[in-house]
Amino acid sequence: MNQAGAYLLVPLLSGALVACGAVEAVQTSKTFELLGLAPDEPCVVTKREGRRLAGSYLRQVSASEGSDVFFVTGKTSRKGLPRNLNFNDQTLRRIRPTEDGPLEGSRRSVAKPIEGLGIKGELPAAYTMSYRAERIDYEGPVVVGPSPTSFEIPTSGRIVYSGDVQLTLATSPGDGATSFKSTKAKFTAIIGYGSQQASLRIDTSAADFPFDGVQWTRLGICGTRVTSSGQGQVLFVQPDGSRQVPFQSSRAVTPIRALLESSQFARTDRPGPPDSFGGTFIVAGDTGTLTGVFIATQPEIEGTPEPL
């Protein structure tokens, strides 16, 4: 989050991209959202960055329910797996595979592959990663893959990805008890290179959730990244097709925190446009929290731009 605590009040229909960093949003049922801007990450992708890893990490404090979403960079090993990972002010070094599957590295870091997300033994990949720093234990899902270079990112047209997402829903009805449900679901992401906007839709109709889907629109494109960028609006789709602000409560205004960080990943037969996509997100309100980690390993459709 922005340590300075700066906030802006902007209409949801504003066309300007406010920021490319992750954004903490307080939304209401009206057409306004209160935004706290996170520190920007550079959107320019250099040749050097094109030889590195990119991704995102939903970091959670093991002893509490506090969470943050970070943009991740790193380097690969000769085996094509993560070697070093950098996020926020942390660097995890000397990451290496163990005989029983997980990766281990400095700061007591352990990265366990998330089954069903991505292709086993290949990047991009999703892991549940834990580590220790300043006597605090952290854990959470991380997605990493090879970063494209700037000239590999299209400037027009659009691309559609379909893939798998792992969701965890925590609900707190107010009696002090918190219940957890986890499920796998399908998502569709549309990235519009000309409009520099993207959308994410998740189908939860087959899950035992109190809503049938998640719709996240007006996401911003920042170099290789797709982020909640000040224009984003996230809504829960109800069984009757209506859309509601997540985790509505008895308060006159329903505040939520909505953060999404994701990356487009380079193709194997380079140069060429990205052909895979993945990231992490959190949507949190007074009565519940929804977190997700997602990967699509190939595009579904490529074509001309259409409104998102």
Highest mean pLDDT among 36-50, 84-98, 231-245: 231-245
**CA dist 87 → 111, 113, 146, 227 (Å):** 15, 19, 16, 16
Q: Tell me: the pLDDT tens digits for 46-75? A: 555 556 888 898 988 765 666 788 888 877
111 vs 203, more confident: 203
Contact 24, 256 (CB under 8 A): no
Q: How confident is the model at residue 217 (pLDDT cuts 50, 70, 90)?
A: very high
Contacts of 186 (CB under 8 A, 6+ apart): 162, 163, 164, 165, 202, 203
Per-residue model confidence (pLDDT) at position 98: 59
Q: Tell me: the pLDDT tens digits for 4-54? A: 333 233 333 333 333 444 333 333 333 334 333 343 455 655 555 556 888
Decide the pairing of beta strands 256-265 and 276-285: antiparallel
Assess whether pLDDT exceeds 60 at residue 143: yes
Per-residue model confidence (pLDDT) at position 9: 31
Per-residue model confidence (pLDDT) at position 264: 93
Q: Tell me: the pLDDT tens digits for 259-271? A: 899 999 998 888 8
Portion of the chain with pLDDT greater than 90, in percent: 24
Query: Which CATH number among 3.40.47.10, 2.40.160.90, 3.90.25.10, 1.10.10.60 corresponds to the domain 7-41+155-223+232-303?
Result: 2.40.160.90
Contact 282, 290 (CB under 8 A): yes
Per-residue model confidence (pLDDT) at position 304: 47
Mean pLDDT across 114-140: 84
261 vs 179, more confident: 261
254 vs 212, more confident: 212
Per-residue model confidence (pLDDT) at position 231: 64
Assess whether pLDDT exceeds 80 at residue 157: yes
Q: How confident is the model at residue 171 (pLDDT cuts 50, 70, 90)?
A: confident
Enumerate the domain spans of the chain.
Answer: 7-41+155-223+232-303, 49-146
Q: How confident is the model at residue 140 (pLDDT cuts 50, 70, 90)?
A: confident
170 vs 107, more confident: 170
Residue 252 CB neighbour total at 10 angstroms: 7
Q: What is the DSSP letter of 152?
A: G
Entry pTM: 0.79
Look over the chain and give the mean of its residue pLDDT values, rounded to a whole number: 76
Assess whether pLDDT exceeds 70 at residue 226: yes
